[in-house]
Amino acid sequence: MPLIEKGHIVEDSFVRVADDEALPEGASVLVGIDRFLTEAEALKARQAPVGVVWPNNRPIAEIAPHLGQLSLIALNFPSFRDGRAYSQARLLRERLGWQGPLRAIGNVLRDQFLLMERSGFDQIEAVKEADAEAFDEATHRYTVFYQPATDARPSLLRQRLGRTVPGVRS
């Protein structure tokens, strides 16, 4: 699956490793939550970056004590109708202060790219190559927003009031 990062198709530097597979030496790894919690101390000692796939049915607050040892958080969209990962992304960015890469994985469709970007995702694992190639068009289709979000685009209310304050969400 193609990986989109900040609007460009990039090579994925993380190797997804199943719970029963050996960790490749020196490679950046992306592991499931069960393995991550079971092997937290051993993973902390690794010399290579570690990322975690966080399920959307688990409270995002549980990840807070581990944020310092993570290099990537991947949030899962098991179905295009399941939007819990949007809420998790905003909570990670706004309440927990996560500054690192946040990846959307699973059933990710072109129509969702703009909302994913506005919710705080900076990496998207697209289902189809054609969707990845259409990222720029999909994220610039709309230019006016009523809702405030984690991105830097001001809401319509802030624009009308002429109050776009740097560093403050609109």
Give per-residue pLDDT as tens, 4-60.
Answer: 887 788 899 999 999 999 999 999 999 999 999 999 888 988 999 999 999 999 999
Tens-digit pLDDT profile for residues 60-92: 999 999 999 999 999 999 988 898 999 999 999
- 152 shares a domain with 135: no
- 16 shares a domain with 85: yes
Residue 165: domain span: 144-170
- 163 shares a domain with 133: no
- 160 shares a domain with 134: no
- 150 shares a domain with 118: no
Q: What is the pLDDT of residue 170?
A: 47
- 103 shares a domain with 45: yes
CATH code for the domain of 79: 3.20.20.70
Stated pTM of the model: 0.81
- 149 shares a domain with 128: no
- 101 shares a domain with 30: yes
pLDDT surpasses 80 at 131: no
Q: How far, rounded to the nearest angstrom, does the alpha carbon of residue 86 sit from its chain's CA centroid?
A: 9
Domain count along the chain: 2
- 15 shares a domain with 62: yes
